[in-house]
Amino acid sequence: MSETCVLVLDAEPLPRLDRLRGRARVVHADEKSLAGHLPEADVLLVWDFLSAAVREAWPGEGPRPRWVHTPSAGVDRLLPELSASPDTVITNARGVFDQPIAEYVAGLVLAMAKDFPGSWELQRRRTWRHRETIRVGGTRALVVGSGPIGRTIGRTLMALGVTVDLVGRTARDTDPEFGRVHGNAALPTLLGEADWVVCVAPLTEESRGLFDAAAFSRMKPGARFINVGRGQHVVEDDLVEALRAERIAGAALDVFAQEPLADGSPLWDVPGLLISPHMSGDTLGWRDDLAEQFLDNFDRWEAGEPLLNVVDKGLGYVPST
Amino acid sequence: MSETCVLVLDAEPLPRLDRLRGRARVVHADEKSLAGHLPEADVLLVWDFLSAAVREAWPGEGPRPRWVHTPSAGVDRLLPELSASPDTVITNARGVFDQPIAEYVAGLVLAMAKDFPGSWELQRRRTWRHRETIRVGGTRALVVGSGPIGRTIGRTLMALGVTVDLVGRTARDTDPEFGRVHGNAALPTLLGEADWVVCVAPLTEESRGLFDAAAFSRMKPGARFINVGRGQHVVEDDLVEALRAERIAGAALDVFAQEPLADGSPLWDVPGLLISPHMSGDTLGWRDDLAEQFLDNFDRWEAGEPLLNVVDKGLGYVPST
């Protein structure tokens, strides 16, 4: 058996790579050299997981990697091109981001409820102005996306006394933690009941543009919207319009249709809109965790064992067992 | 029996007062007229609980209210003058603020961990800059103050995966929720172990100035300090110095030695210091809740039953049962 070739698409150095020493030939590629290297690679690690280069460079015919790993939760930057390669397995970073993103969303909920943005703006103006804030306990959240991240968000909000409705692909009447999981058909009704609407769905053809003018018009005037899914889940112009018309009370976006957000984007200064640069899951040491997760899966690959976190290319995510 | 006289020190209207109709004669006083009315009052409701007027107006001799209620958790604005009146009972707002303040503190912890202040400052500058943030689960918090608010803060942080050390007046080796409660003697050691130091103690002679240069020097360089107790717990100049010298990583103050904080205070723009205007417990409807709590206790007073939430004037707070 010839030595395994691991191709790494990396803009930044990958930690812990010494674990592959003597076990694989590691080839580094950038977006330009990727296409030339793909035919020789057994394994592709999309370390630069924000890149769209893999879809463009993916070979239509001939040899190609049998395993592609992306150290992200979403795999939308790999599909649908890779779906046409039935022998290629895709794995993702399922699990690594659950707790960090849940903390991030809980933090946004509390920050918006307690109007921290308002307090810190008043601080800049050296102005003391007491306001009454929202009690989070007893409010209601709708979490769209019932994978591990969505479930961890739901669990964290429940610990704060929030009633949580979870929406997923498959409705279930019995769920050990949430009582039930709603199907997509329940979304229009549930949108009208929530104080907090959180999008953490995988990006698929069904979920693209899910949060549009119709969705925002169903929400309560006091509702706040949080997107930690993908920018393409939101029709950004419709969100801007909903905020400017005060049809909803506020929103926080960590992801955008175009990243990085351009300096000239009108989103930066929409009233009631909080912006962060796609970092909700990225806690100190996250790159180490992601590298270890890939390398642990490489151990399995080398031993001929089934890989963990295998994406269902038809669904566009790792189905829950 | 003559009609009960309820004297209300109020700068703002008191809701729900119709519950006293036909049961008591209600007299309203401001800070100037308070002293003149105190001798005729059976009950004093310090609705304007931020006022220091009661201590100044309290009669040294002669008739005075037998019951004083403050709709706040702290009673430091009533002591020690009222301690010299053994026949006067003081009650407070124990319970009303527990959940709101716990949410506020959890929000501050998450906001500081995820650097929301940094993200929103970058948003103002239309700048996309990804950073790595702190995972809150697995960090360690020290909560100084083991009354109902401190316990609710501790419980809320534990739900986020934080290890919590609680410090109170009386050390206990067995506590159903926290395993143990540390005594004040453990404070110097515990200060060096915490990622988050939260002050929610009652203000007493022992706790005044507790957070001084020595305390900040014991904290870890990455530690962050939150004060939702009383401004006088903190030697503000020492905190400013600790922040400027980066001996600690950040702080959030909701209470101050002088309130409102003067426009010219140097605190407004200390790097790493977040300021809010004494509002951590004040959620929508809080005035209704506080009024109901007093009026429920008035029912007990009228019926000759023991009052709830009676302050131990020696300790300076309502002791836990």
CB contact under 8 Å between A123 and B274, yes or no, is yes
Taking contacts as CB-CB distances below 8 angstroms, the residues of chain A near B132 are 279, 282-286
Sheet of A196-199, strand order: A163-167, A140-144, A196-199, A224-227, A250-253, A273-275
| Identity of the residue in A103, A135, A277 whose CB atom sits nearest the CB atom of B135 | A103
| Identity of the residue in A126, A130, A135 whose CB atom sits nearest the CB atom of B278 | A130
User: What's the distance, CA A254 to chain centroid?
Assistant: 9
CB contact under 8 Å between A132 and B283, yes or no, is yes
| Identity of the residue in B111, B135, B284 whose CB atom sits nearest the CB atom of A134 | B284
Specify the pLDDT at position B270: 98
Taking contacts as CB-CB distances below 8 angstroms, the residues of chain A near B123 are 268, 274-276
Taking contacts as CB-CB distances below 8 angstroms, the residues of chain A near B131 are 279, 282
Residues 34-93 of A with CB under 8 A from B: none
| DSSP labels, A107-174 | HHHHHHHTTHHHHHHHHHTT------B---TT-EEEEE--SHHHHHHHHHHHHTT-EEEEE-SS-EEE
Cβ–Cβ contact B21 with A under 8 A: no
Written as six digits, the tokens of A1 are 């058996």
Å between B114 CA and nearest CA of chain A:
7
Specify the pLDDT at position B1: 52
Cβ–Cβ contact B4 with A under 8 A: no
In angstroms, rounded to a whole number, what is the distance separating the alpha carbons of residues A73 and A75? 7
The dihedral over CA atoms of B168, B171, B175, B178, expressed in degrees to the nearest 10, equals: 50
CB contact under 8 Å between A111 and B113, yes or no, is no
Cβ–Cβ contact A106 with B under 8 A: yes
CB contact under 8 Å between A276 and B116, yes or no, is yes
Residue ranges of the alpha helices (H) in B160-285? Answer: 187-191, 213-218, 236-244
Specify the pLDDT at position B80: 85
Residue ranges of the alpha helices (H) in chain B? Answer: 34-37, 53-57, 98-113, 116-124, 148-159, 187-191, 213-218, 236-244, 286-302
In angstroms, rounded to a whole number, what is the distance separating the alpha carbons of residues A133 and A110? 10
Residues 155-194 of A with CB under 8 A from B: 156, 159-161
Å between B270 CA and nearest CA of chain A:
11
Q: CA-nearest residue of chain B to A134?
A: B283
Specify the pLDDT at position B176: 92
In angstroms, rounded to a whole number, what is the distance separating the alpha carbons of residues B92 and B70? 5
Q: Which helix (H) or strand (E) holds B255?
A: none
Best interface-test mutation with A: which of B279, B284, B286 has the largest number of A CBs within 10 A?
B279
Specify the pLDDT at position B321: 63
At residue B12 the predicted structure's pLDDT band, cuts being 50, 70 and 90, is: confident
In angstroms, rounded to a whole number, what is the distance separating the alpha carbons of residues A175 and B153? 29
* Topology (CATH level 3) of domain A98-275: Rossmann fold (3.40.50)
Report percent pLDDT > 70 for chain A: 99
Best interface-test mutation with A: which of B49, B132, B267 has the largest number of A CBs within 10 A?
B132
Which pLDDT tens digit goes with each residue over A253-295?
A: 999 999 999 999 999 999 999 999 999 999 999 999 999 999 9
Cβ–Cβ contact B205 with A under 8 A: no
Taking contacts as CB-CB distances below 8 angstroms, the residues of chain B near A160 are 103, 106, 156, 159
Which pLDDT tens digit goes with each residue over B63-113?
A: 999 999 999 999 999 988 888 888 999 999 999 999 999 999 999 999 999
Pairing of strands A224-227, A196-199: parallel
Residues of A catalogued as catalytic? 230, 259, 278
* 8-state DSSP, B175: E
At residue A107 the predicted structure's pLDDT band, cuts being 50, 70 and 90, is: very high
Residues 138-157 of B with CB under 8 A from A: 156
Which has more confidence, A170 or A102?
A102
Q: Please compute the mean of the pLDDT values over residues B267-286 and round it to a whole number.
A: 97
Specify the pLDDT at position A321: 62
Taking contacts as CB-CB distances below 8 angstroms, the residues of chain B near A275 are 119-120, 123
In angstroms, rounded to a whole number, what is the distance separating the alpha carbons of residues B64 and B58? 8
Residue with tokens 């201590």: B55
Which has more confidence, B1 or A88?
A88
CB contact under 8 Å between B159 and A160, yes or no, is yes
Mean pLDDT of chain A: 95
Cβ–Cβ contact B113 with A under 8 A: yes
Å between A171 CA and nearest CA of chain B:
28
Q: Please compute the mean of the pLDDT values over residues B232-256 and round it to a whole number.
A: 98
Architecture of domain A4-95+285-302: 3-Layer(aba) Sandwich (3.40)
Which pLDDT tens digit goes with each residue over B165-182?
A: 999 998 999 999 999 999
Å between B116 CA and nearest CA of chain A:
8
In three-state secondary structure terms, B245 is coil
Written as six digits, the tokens of B164 are 């919590």
Which pLDDT tens digit goes with each residue over A127-156?
A: 999 999 999 999 999 999 999 999 999 999
Which pLDDT tens digit goes with each residue over A207-258?
A: 999 999 999 999 999 999 999 999 999 999 999 999 999 999 999 999 999 9
Query: In chain B, which residues fall in CATH 3.40.50.720?
Result: 4-95+285-302, 98-275
Answering whether pTM is above 0.90, one says: yes
Taking contacts as CB-CB distances below 8 angstroms, the residues of chain A near B279 are 119, 130-133
Cβ–Cβ contact B289 with A under 8 A: no
